[in-house]
Amino acid sequence: MQNEALKTLAVEALEELKGQDITELDVAALTSVTDVMVIANGTSTRHVGALADNVVEKAKEAGIRPLGVEGGAGADWVLVDMGDVVVHVMLPDARRLYDLERLWSDLPSNGEEEVRGGQA
């Protein structure tokens, strides 16, 4: 399944169960680990788990076997790793604390020199 189709599958699975503040980050130029991160809020730990479970279920229905799921029942952050697309489902407080959108936007892209202490 192509990245765009996998990203759409994840977003639709989150929207189906009323995931909030869904954001897509293209991180392909920043890391070789994944190409796209999808981040969403859940309203409670139970909602976070249900959203992540729905992503896993929809992926399996499409013939995609997630590489892993981190977090779980009672967690304030669950990560679903589908290879080229990684889904983060978080409680709003955890999302503000870790601020993945800012973290990934502040990283230099591959091939870009980072200046440290006045030297490149």
Q: Which domains does the chain have, with CATH numbers?
A: 3-101 (3.30.460.10)
In the prediction, which pLDDT does 107 show? 55
94/56 Cα distance (integer angstroms): 21
Q: How far apart, in Å, do the first and last CA atoms of the chain sit?
A: 39
73 versus 78: the higher-pLDDT residue is 78
- Residue 2: alpha-carbon gap to chain centroid: 16
In the prediction, which pLDDT does 35 show? 93
Average pLDDT value for residue range 45-72: 96
Average pLDDT value for residue range 45-53: 96
pLDDT of 84 over the 90 cut: yes
53/25 Cα distance (integer angstroms): 21
Rounded to whole angstroms, the maximal C-alpha distance in the chain is 52
85 versus 107: the higher-pLDDT residue is 85
